[in-house]
Structure 1
Amino acid sequence: MSTADSKRFAPAFNQTTLVILAGALILSAAMGIRQTFGLFIGPFSFDRGLPVTLIAFAIALHNLVWGFAQPFAGAAADRYGSAPVVAFGATTFAAGLGLAAVAPSGAMLIVGMGLLVGIGVSCTTFGVVLPAVGRIASPEKRSMAMGLVSAGGSAGQVLMVPLVQGIRLSSGIATSLFVLAFLMLLIAPLGMVLDRRARVGTPVQETPAAPLRKVLGQAAGHRGYRLLSLGFFTCGFQLAFIATHLPEYLSLCHMPIGLGATALALIGLFNMAGSWACGWLGGRFRQHYVLGWLYVIRSVTIGAFFLLPKSPASVVIFAAVMGLTWLGTVPLTSGLVAKVFGTRHLGSLFGVCFLSHQIGSFLGAWLGGLVFDLTGSYSLLWEATVVAGLVAAMLHFPIDDTAVNTPALRAEPAAA
């Protein structure tokens, strides 16, 4: 390669690297913070006298709001860029955490941790970050790039859970939530990095993009997209239930204090490897097959954990295996959407698909609290997560991943 060629490719490489790093940091903060919410169920209940059902509903509501807001956040990022969307989301997220910190009643907790946090998360996570990465990466490297961002984002869960646990035990609920709000404000400017590609002379797409309404209509009529969206419901259901209720479940099993926080941190640690591995596998095998087997592994792991005797060792093994399959669905799902429909409206299309995920998240978090209050046990929900995972696997295997044939829907910017 000539010196001129080297100089021409170096800026593109640097831009790709910067986008991946910025995306990983944004995801690390947003996802890491929301993964700590399960640690607040007991303290909110004991210290403020709030019912577990109400606290679980507030946590569950942010998942539902996230899901309904995600298509709009993705469409806004597609049209206006990531910078204003991330800045708005980080500020709203921080405001929700601050309101939860001082909430005098359950209603204020629902507004803060439910409504405001949900809107904030929709603007600072997958539906905004991964499309920016998908547009800058070449098609053959797209799944890997998305996997790297998801893996880097998992660092937040590893760091945030012990941080929050330590601050909460030493300084209380309010202080720990204010610290998290401050951290969210720090990542607000990083959205500008996701949009740097537009300022380095990247050639514009030659084929005109189809209107969003036409794209959504074609996606709605695509059997594979419908199956993918239905299967994504299970991912949200499983992860939200475990992230929200695992600490409390372990305390009911008379496990050592702090083991729940350790388990959540281990899930985040192993998710770093799992997300990277799923991105790598998605670049070498058909992504819907990888997704199908991932759901099978999850269901077997959850079933074994629920049925076998509990011990610190079994909790660690469960957390490790779940971590390897935790968020690996995201780069695979978004990569599959990009493979079929292209990247021009990826934020919007993934956002609609992600709505199904978040409806599952709402039900997983809320029903966990409701069933526990009604029965004094989480058994029904553990059983439901196993069945849901097996159903999701059956939905993914028959997906047709052939790219759509409408040229206007395949409009893509030149790859880095």
Structure 2
Amino acid sequence: MKDNKRTFAASPLMMLICGSIILALALGFRQSFGIFLKPMTGDLGYGRETFSLALALQNLVWGITQPFTGWIADKYGTSKALLIGALAYVLGLAFMAYSSTGVGLTLSAGVLIGIGLGGSSFAVIFGALGRAFEARRRSLVLGIAGMGASFGMFVVPPSAQSLINSFGWFKTIIILAMTCILMFVLSIGLIEEKKPLQEKRDTGSALSEAFKHRDFWLLGIGFAVCGFQVVFMLTHLAAYVQDQGLTQTVAVNALAIIGFTNMLGSLLAGYLGGKFPKPYLLSAIFFLRAIIILIFILTPISQTTVYLFSGAIGLIWLGTVPLTNGTLATIFGVKYLSTLSGLIFVMHQIGSFAGGWLGGVLFDRTGSYQAIWITAILLSFVAALSYLPVKERPISELKTESQQSNEANA
């Protein structure tokens, strides 16, 4: 007997809108954590290394949980993974406000918010969008969603700073927690239509196939460098700018400029990813990062140079995300895209942990960020070179070519 029962499923456009807003909230809040470093460490008495460790752990937990939330999204639906992320994010922000010790900060800002990001960020959202839109539009759609995340990065830091100025850091974090509740409502817009995909692999086979593929690991190496650089700057750029004698307003504006120009950069990356080979675009991004950072640290710092640096680095800030996910979708397909994207993101977050934590450690040991800036430049070249051999073609085609080549040589 045919089952005529109809279930609700969001339209692709609704998924794009709700997914973009969720990314704006999740990544916008994350972008603002650096501006809490000075007021919280000043009031609560622990050092920058303690604060840096909490945010570094946040990124590591985010990465570790991403494959699991990605698997939940692939198997049970994106909306269910989002509910887990929203709950953890709200609780993490609430407990962060009441954390008066390093341990409390680590458990709240580190562990709980890390889980929250794992259930509400790129791998989960991009997996759903990758399934909802056909291949010819996929890169542009992921770029648009990335632009939504960038909009949050542009709006939230100055808004949070304004709230800190008016109400203090404690009430500001509570306001962020209350705003984060919107994610529960928006998750309804990510309920997916069950489409029969021509996919014979199970999850284990898909993972085994990816782990044996060289290009999966090359993408991971580049993404790890991206995490190192981005989280170092997210955590320490505001403090670095103030250490050079500039105001907190300049520091916050720098983060906002990164978010604004990243809106353009993410959209541009998505557009170009539909026109040119994505691995080559990724390589170009990291060559540019090396040049931009080198010029910044060699130039006498001023408000102008900070704003120019922020605008330039923002253009290539998160363009790596739609390009990396688009490459994964092309090579491995979309059925397990959230899971595979989550695994690649583990490597990104290992780099994030290192960048955020080492920034604080080296500053506390040397009183300077110079060594970590130089490390970021050197790693840019490693990432740029790692992308060049990646072949952006379906793995089924590569297998067929390999078999034909072996038969011809036999």
Aligned residue for 1:258, secondary structure, equals helix
Name the structure 1 match of 2:196. 204
Name the structure 2 match of 1:24. 20
Q: How does 1:155-304 map onto structure 2 within 5 Å?
A: 155-198=151-194, 203-205=195-197, 207-304=198-295
Query: 1:43 aligned to 2:39?
Result: yes
Name the structure 2 match of 1:9. none
Q: Deviations over 1:203-243 (max 9, x none)?
A: 522x2431111111111111111101011100000000011
> Whole-Å Cα distance in 2 between the matches of residues 115 and 152 of structure 1?
25
Aligned residue for 2:251, secondary structure, equals helix
Aligned residue for 1:405, secondary structure, equals helix
Aligned-pair CA distance for 1:255: 1.4
Name the structure 1 match of 2:91. 95
- 8 Å contact kept, 2:128–2:192: no
Q: How does 1:360-399 map onto structure 2 within 5 Å?
A: 360-399=351-390
- 8 Å contact kept, 1:157–1:268: yes
Aligned-pair CA distance for 1:406: 7.9
- 8 Å contact kept, 1:132–1:194: yes
Name the structure 2 match of 1:400. 391
Aligned residue for 2:160, secondary structure, equals helix
What RMSD over aligned residues (CA atoms) do the two structures have, in Å? 1.5
Aligned-pair CA distance for 1:192: 2.0
Query: 1:139 aligned to 2:135?
Result: yes
Aligned-pair CA distance for 1:401: 1.8
Name the structure 2 match of 1:68. 64
Q: How many residues align?
A: 391
CA shift in 2, pair 1:172/1:232, >3 Å: same
Aligned residue for 1:274, secondary structure, equals helix
Name the structure 2 match of 1:84. 80
Aligned-pair CA distance for 1:195: 1.7
> Whole-Å Cα distance in 2 between the matches of residues 88 and 16 of structure 1?
22
Aligned residue for 1:154, secondary structure, equals helix
Which residue among 309, 316, 335 is the counterpart of 1:325? 316
Which residue among 126, 129, 134 is the counterpart of 1:130? 126
Which residue among 304, 308, 333 is the counterpart of 1:313? 304
Q: Deviations over 1:263-321 (max 9, x none)?
A: 00000000000000000010000000000001111111011101111111111111111
> Whole-Å Cα distance in 2 between the matches of residues 169 and 47 of structure 1?
15
Aligned-pair CA distance for 1:257: 2.9
Aligned residue for 2:389, secondary structure, equals coil
One-letter amino acid of the counterpart of residue 41, structure 2: S
- 8 Å contact kept, 2:238–2:248: no
- 8 Å contact kept, 1:82–1:192: no
Query: 1:115 aligned to 2:111?
Result: yes
One-letter amino acid of the counterpart of residue 260, structure 1: A
Q: Given the two structures, how large is their TM-score scaled by the length of structure 1?
A: 0.92
One-letter amino acid of the counterpart of residue 352, structure 1: L
Aligned residue for 1:170, secondary structure, equals helix
One-letter amino acid of the counterpart of residue 184, structure 2: A
Gaps of 5+ in 1: 1-11, 408-416
One-letter amino acid of the counterpart of residue 314, structure 1: T
Aligned-pair CA distance for 1:82: 1.1
Aligned residue for 1:197, secondary structure, equals coil
Aligned-pair CA distance for 1:104: 2.2
- 8 Å contact kept, 1:247–1:261: yes
- 8 Å contact kept, 1:87–1:189: no
CA shift in 2, pair 1:196/1:348, >3 Å: closer
Name the structure 2 match of 1:6. none
> Whole-Å Cα distance in 1 between the matches of residues 64 and 192 of structure 2?
28
CA shift in 2, pair 1:281/1:46, >3 Å: same
> Whole-Å Cα distance in 1 between the matches of residues 128 and 352 of structure 2?
24
Aligned-pair CA distance for 1:50: 1.2
Name the structure 2 match of 1:411. none
Aligned-pair CA distance for 1:385: 0.5
> Whole-Å Cα distance in 2 between the matches of residues 406 and 400 of structure 1?
11
- 8 Å contact kept, 1:53–1:370: yes
One-letter amino acid of the counterpart of residue 119, structure 1: I
> Whole-Å Cα distance in 2 between the matches of residues 19 and 331 of structure 1?
16
Aligned-pair CA distance for 1:196: 4.2
Q: Deviations over 1:235-256 (max 9, x none)?
A: 0000000111001101111113
